[in-house]
Amino acid sequence: MSSTYATANNSGNIPIGFETRRKCMQFFGRWNVFVETLDKCFENVCELDLIFHVDKVHYILNELVMGGMVLETNMSEIIARIEEQNLIEKQEMGISAAPARAVSAVKNMNLSQQLRDMKLPDLSNIGSLKF
């Protein structure tokens, strides 16, 4: 047996370090997909995006890898799922913003002016009524 070859699991002669290099290349390929996806989602990603949008970063990472297993490496598929999530968040934001919109509508009604303009019945002869 040559000193540059080793046998592992009876699989034959494999150059030493070949498996390590292959795993490193796979890791860097997945890391590249993750970084490019972040860059597309945040439009020129920076550290502040990662800090202030950590939930979105976790969501992107979970689309790529979950529980140590690679789920998806196609960047366009990952971005499609993120866009779907953004749409859901916008719809939910509309629901959660409803109380704020109601308060804003009440403020815009100008209630103080409406109270001044209200016509009340003449109550000067209320003392002559018999109960």
Domains of the chain: which residue ranges? 5-108
Q: Please, are residues 40 and 32 in contact by the beta-carbon 8 Å criterion?
A: no
Instruction: Identify the pLDDT of residue 129.
Output: 66
Residue 127's identity, in one-letter code, is G
Q: Model pTM greater than 0.85?
A: no
Instruction: Identify the pLDDT of residue 29.
Output: 83
Cα separation, 28 vs 34, in Å, equals 10
Instruction: Identify the pLDDT of residue 72.
Output: 83
The CA-atom distances, in angstroms, between 107 and each of 59, 96, 99, 102, 116 are 38, 19, 12, 9, 16
pLDDT 10s per residue in the chain (131 long)?
444 444 445 455 556 667 788 888 888 888 888 889 899 888 888 888 889 889 889 988 888 888 777 888 888 888 898 889 888 888 877 666 666 667 677 666 777 777 777 777 777 776 676 66
Instruction: Identify the pLDDT of residue 23.
Output: 80
- Fold classification of 5-108 is Beta-Lactamase (3.30.450)
